[in-house]
Amino acid sequence: MTVPYSPLAIANNFLEQFGQDGGIEHMKLQKLVYCSYGWWLAVYGIEAERLTSEGPQIWKHGPVFDSLYHALKVFGRAPITSPQSTNPFQPPENVDETDENVRNLISWTWGRYGHLSSFALSDITHKPGTPWHRVATENNFSVAYNTSIPDQYIFEEFTRLLDAAEIASKEQAKQNDERQAQA
């Protein structure tokens, strides 16, 4: 299997790589899958194959992948410690072991956001200007069930974040070069 993966396969890879020690809450997994989805769009572009087989929807606590919600809702707020399956007769879906791009993206996303709580991640996705906030505002904060967040909005947000990170990295490299020249 290659992209697109199910949102559950992406969540399961987070669980496989980082969930054994204490687990990861369902809401946090939703936000981590969303961030992975956004970074994928920023890096590979709006015309590329999507990371997941479905896009995020606008829900009360931020972006949610509907199928992932239904697969993991039984856990409530309890930490999930191992990959999950929607079928008791099949192994859990996961990212292919040979798919280094996606596995590295998941690891990178964890490194950037894994230290944050579920609610901190939810707060990040609700900030003014974010895709979630844009759709909510366009609908006067009365959004119909199953309303998708446009990929274009997500692409714009994460491209902006990617550009800011590249600018910061270049500035830091410039400052390091200046320090070395002065030494």
Domain range annotation of the chain:
7-182
Strand spans (E) along the chain: 57-59, 62-64
Contacts for 157 with CB less than 8 Å, ≥ 6 apart? 38, 129, 130, 131
What Cα–Cα distance (Å) separates residue 128 from each residue in 75, 83, 122, 124?
30, 33, 13, 9
- For the stretch 11-20, pLDDT in tens is 999 999 999 8
Return the structure tokens found at 159.
């491209």
| pTM, to two decimals | 0.90
Report the pLDDT averaged over residues 30-47.
96
- Output the six-digit token pair for 6: 């199910």
Question: What letter represents residue 156's amino acid?
Answer: E
pLDDT band at 116 (very low <50, low <70, confident <90, very high): very high
Sign of CA dihedral 87, 91, 92, 93: negative
Average predicted confidence (pLDDT) for the chain: 92
Nearest to 10 by CA among 42, 59, 54, 44: 54
Residue 21 pLDDT > 70, yes or no? yes
Instruction: Tell me which of 179 and 106 has the higher pLDDT.
Output: 106
Position 120 confidence tier, pLDDT thresholds 50, 70, 90: very high
Local confidence band at 40 (pLDDT 50, 70, 90 cut-offs): very high
